[in-house]
Structure 1
Amino acid sequence: MKIRAVVRGVGHYLPERIVENTEFEASLETTDDWIRARTGIERRHFAAEGETTSQLAIKAAQAALLDAEMSADQIDAIVVATSTPDLTFPSVATMVQAGLGSTRGFAYDVQAVCAGFIYALANANGLIVSGQAERVLVIGAETFSRIMDWTDRGTCVLFGDGAGALVLEAATGSGQNGDRGVLATDLHSDGRYRELLYVDGGVSSTGQAGHLRMQGNQVFKHAVHKLAETAHAALDKLGLSGEDVDWIVPHQANLRIISATAERMQVPMERVVVTVQDHGNTSAASIPLALSVGRARGQIKTGDLIVTEAIGGGLAWGAVVLRW
């Protein structure tokens, strides 16, 4: 017998404001067709003035708890993946804890940029498998609109704001691949590639939040190779291959990256959950958002084998295999 971290609930929240590609045409030398052709993005959501990452996270968490039919006081730990916290400290996770009205357990943030939710999910799985927590709320939440350079057409059209959440609970499994829950994880980073994707500000450097900077072509090349590699590595740990996968739920950064990764994994696009057209790149929020939307669409069903993978600044990347 083996302890597994099983998904009991999922939820998401998107800010009310929807920004279509055409809005950028007035201020940038770009077009709706150009953005769609290169990224697959059609629209994204932007947080309202004064709307914070923690507020988005709280709403996603409430939706996930409702789906799990649990209350906040049943949660032992809250792990939030974000690169756009409300404040330098305290953590967004403690703000979520307060916002949910919980005074028990512990809460902390994980920062691995777009790979953040993969890291947070692996972290939450570790808490459950080791017996440190029985129920963990895992959230990805971002307000990337706060760190955009609105004169840089290569980056500002790509990102959006949002939050997604999962409720994980300890359950006893057989130790075989048929178990529900997290089955395998694979994490990597390589700090030599910092200059490919970073924010040019911070507490100990500039004292300013800074703006996102990216070498898009280089990130694309690393993404396709590393995402397929990490997904295969996680599946290899289970003796499985792309043929065994019901759904790939990838980081939603660029439709061309998603398609190329699926091709390398020999998984048809019909078995890939795609939301990038409606959300843009929401960094650490993109995977839980896609899981929630995929479940709501009726794509993801109980018992489905899911591979989810992401790469972000650092570079940091990884994959998780789980059975829903």
Structure 2
Amino acid sequence: RIDILPTLASRVKAKLGIRSPQAIAYDILYGCPGWVQALIQADYYIRSGDAKKILVIGADVLSRISDPHDRDSMIYADGAGAAIVEAVESETPVGIIGHNSRSDSMDYVNLLHMGYSYDRELAGKKDLYLKMNGRRLYQYALENVPKAIKSGLDKLKLHVNDVKKVLIHQANGKMDDAILKRLFKLYNINDIPESVMPMTISWLGNSSVATVPTLLDMVMRGKMNGHSISSGDNLVLTSVGAGMNINSVIYRMP
């Protein structure tokens, strides 16, 4: 069911023809927030001086673990996104300027898990399909994602009004809207600025780790109507997923 040897990162490195042994390749198993967490690790590597340029890839093929007899699977999709994180000199902070992560694994570890098909003929035979406790997952995300974003902003002494765009994992449109409202509510703001949160789930679905890099690419390339960004704009990249894990990155456009 799980193909982990050799790692996907090692296979990609081989296919790209990258020969340097110093270009280390490894996978990050962190659920849907995996790509954002990889950005955070890339930032640590660069700030430590151990790396100057890092390729961060987020790819998932949820069609392989989607139960066609489960309504929750209807929104799952396949996708991939990649970015090169590079060290640059700047008089003012740009790029990844801050981040925040949390893992709640005691009470919420099984909100997303592998389980059996709802097809009676297949039930109990193989736990090959992604299953979720949708109601509890919704409640968990609504309660904790806004606080995680605010904690990241607080570290930088930034206000939510300093944020141009919130790029959130495309898990559920209704849930993402509720998370955004709760985030602004933490600042006692009821009127949310228009076009602060671009969405792609209605036509691209939920591709797990690929949703945030895909969304970021489309916004940066001007492919999202009504959404544009400029130098100096602050973006929040945030995700929530299996574990349960939450993270956010504050990115300032160079």
TM-score, structure 1 length as denominator?
0.68
Separation in structure 2 between the aligned mates of residue 106 and residue 164 of structure 1, nearest angstrom: 19
Letter in 2 for 1:275: T
SS of 1:112's equivalent? coil
> Are the aligned partners of 1:248 and 1:273 in contact in 2 as well (CA < 8 Å)?
yes
Partner of 1:317: 246
Which is bigger in relative contact order (C-alpha 8 A, separation at least 6)? 2
**In 2, are the aligned partners of 1:141 and 1:285 still within 8 Å (CA)?**
yes
Give distance in 2, aligned partners of 1:119 and 1:102. 23
SS of equivalent to 1:287: helix
Per-residue deviation at 1:200? 3.4
Gaps of 5+ in 2: 117-125, 185-191
Q: What amino acid does structure 2 have at the position aligned with 1:195?
A: N
Q: 1:199 aligns with which of 114, 132, 135?
A: 114
Task: Report the TM-score when normalising by structure 2.
Answer: 0.85
Distance 2:90 2:230 in 1: 19
Cα distance in structure 1, aligned partners of 2:75 and 2:15? 30
- Please, which of 77, 87, 93 is the counterpart of residue 179 of structure 1? 93
Q: Which amino acid aligns with 2:81?
A: G
Structure 2 counterpart of 1:96: 12
The match for 2:219 among 294, 300, 307 is 294
Distance in 1, Cα, partners of 2:30 & 2:99: 15
Post-superposition shift, 1:270?
A: 0.9
Q: How far 1:269 sits from its partner (Å)?
A: 4.5
Q: Which residue of 1 aligns with 2:203?
A: 278
The partner residue of 1:264 within 182, 185, 189 is 182
Question: Aligned letter for 1:190?
Answer: D
Per-residue CA distance 1:265-310 (angstroms, 9 max, x = gap)? 3243511121111211111111001001111226233332100111
1:119-155 superposed Cα distances (whole Å, 9 cap, x missing partner): 11111111111111100011110001101111111x2
Hey, what's the Cα distance between the residues in 2 that align with 1:95 and 1:228?
A: 36
Distance in structure 2 (CA, Å) of the matches to 1:100 and 1:301: 32
Q: Distance in 1 between matches of 2:152 and 2:132?
A: 28
Task: Output the aligned Cα RMSD.
Answer: 1.9
Which residue of structure 2 aligns with residue 32 of structure 1? none
Could you tell me which runs of 5 or more consecutive residues in structure 1 were left unpaired when the two chains were aligned.
Answer: 1-83, 202-207
SS of the residue corresponding to residue 194 of structure 1 reads coil
1:246 and 2:164 matched: yes
Is the Cα contact below 8 Å between 1:259 and 1:269 reproduced in 2?
Answer: no
How far did residue 209 of structure 1 move?
7.0
d(CA) in 2 for partners of 1:231 and 1:166? 22
User: Could you tell me whether the CA contact under 8 Å between 1:262 and 1:268 is conserved in 2?
Assistant: no
- Count residues in correspondence: 231
Alignment equivalent of 1:226, drawn from 126, 144, 152: 144
- 1:8-27 aligned within 5 A: none
Show the counterpart of 1:128. Answer: 46
Q: Which amino acid aligns with 1:185?
A: H
Q: Percent of counterpart pairs with the same letter? A: 33
- Within the candidate set 301, 305, 309, 2:234 is matched to 305
Q: Following TM superposition, where does structure 1 have runs of at least 4 consecutive aligned residues deviating by more than 6 angstroms?
A: none
> 1:1-80 alignment to 2 at 5 Å?
none
Q: Please give the alpha-carbon distance, in whole angstroms, between the structure 2 residues aligned to 1:100 and 1:209.
A: 34
**8 Å Cα contact 1:262-1:269 kept in structure 2:** no
